[in-house]
């Protein structure tokens, strides 16, 4: 049972490049989330999906798009990366109020 | 807007010591509070979840308490070990079963010295 799996673990982009962060969970959870973690700022919610086929903006959605491909998978796309998007990104799913996190993607935008 | 504060940002203690980590929040209208552990380069692991109707939760050497009226939660770690070294974060939730309105603190980095 892998839990929440994220790929890639590390990525370096140049300003303006695009990329997709992949996330999959095998716990049959309905709700999935994308967060970013920056020093001194805690975790901030980018987008979430309450169930398959639905997505909604979180606190910091600008510059990102998401796709809930099926119940297992929830991807995050950066269409035109900016240095301000340098961060650690976490995918999570939730059941009965308890969050389960992936191991994160460390993204640097130069 | 809910604000969650964890002070101190970093803490070092000798092995074997009992310790308390603090979490304070500004809006007492919470549904639950969760404590997480984060190891370097890893994701967050949920340690304890306290519902707003509860006063405390225990798991092994960990005990989390909640005082909604004063806007405070504490995480008590008994007989600390070097393996407890990690960053501990708290998160306050406003809605049931959803992370939509979950507000995280910035964490306390704990180092337990052998």
**pLDDT value, residue A76:** 98
DSSP state letter for A73: B
Helix (H, G, I), strand (E, B) or coil at A41: coil
Residues A90 and A7: beta-carbon distance below 8 Å: no
The CA distance from A2 to the nearest CA of chain B, in Å, is: 13
Residues B110 and B22: beta-carbon distance below 8 Å: no
Closest partner residue to B49 (CB to CB) among A42, A45, A98 is A98
Q: Which residues of B touch A41 (CB under 8 A)?
A: 106
Residue B43 zone, left/alpha/beta (φ > 0; ψ -120 to 50; rest): beta
**pLDDT value, residue A41:** 79
* Averaged confidence pLDDT in chain B: 93
Q: Which residues of A touch B45 (CB under 8 A)?
A: 101
Cβ atoms within 10 Å, residue B21: 22
Contact check, Cβ <8 Å, B45/A40: no
Helix (H, G, I), strand (E, B) or coil at A104: coil
pLDDT in tens, A59-71: 999 999 999 989 9
DSSP string, B68-111: TTTTEEEEEESS--GGG-EEEEEEEESSTT-STTEEE---EEEE
Q: Which residues of A touch B49 (CB under 8 A)?
A: 97-98
Closest partner residue to A41 (CB to CB) among B42, B43, B106 is B106
Name which of A74, A50, A45, A75 is nearest A62 in CA terms: A45
Question: Mind listing the pLDDT tens digit of every residue in chain A (110 residues)?
Answer: 579 999 999 999 999 999 999 999 999 999 999 999 998 778 999 999 999 989 999 999 999 999 998 999 999 999 999 999 999 999 999 888 889 999 999 999 99
């Amino acid at each position: 049972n892998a839990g929440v799996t994220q790929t890639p673990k590390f990525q370096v982009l140049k300003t303006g490049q695009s990329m997709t962060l992949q996330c999959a969970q095998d716990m049959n959870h309905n709700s999935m989330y994308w967060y970013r973690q920056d020093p001194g700022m805690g975790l901030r919610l980018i987008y979430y999906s309450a169930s398959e086929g639905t997505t909604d903006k979180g606190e910091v959605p600008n510059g990102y798009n998401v796709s809930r491909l099926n119940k297992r998978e929830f991807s995050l796309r950066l269409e035109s990366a900016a240095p301000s998007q340098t961060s650690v990104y976490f995918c999570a799913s939730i059941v009965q109020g308890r969050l389960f996190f992936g191991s994160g993607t460390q993204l640097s935008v130069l | 807007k809910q604000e969650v504060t964890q002070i101190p940002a970093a803490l070092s203690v000798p092995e074997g010591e009992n310790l308390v980590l603090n979490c304070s929040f500004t809006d007492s209208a919470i549904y639950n509070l969760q404590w997480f552990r984060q190891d370097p380069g890893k994701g967050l692991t949920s340690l304890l979840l306290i519902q707003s109707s509860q006063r405390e939760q225990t798991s092994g050497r960990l005990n989390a308490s909640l005082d909604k009226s004063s806007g405070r939660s504490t995480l008590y770690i008994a007989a600390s070990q070097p393996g407890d070294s990690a960053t501990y974060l708290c998160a306050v939730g406003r809605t049931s079963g959803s992370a939509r309105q979950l507000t995280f603190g910035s964490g306390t980095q704990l180092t337990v010295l052998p």
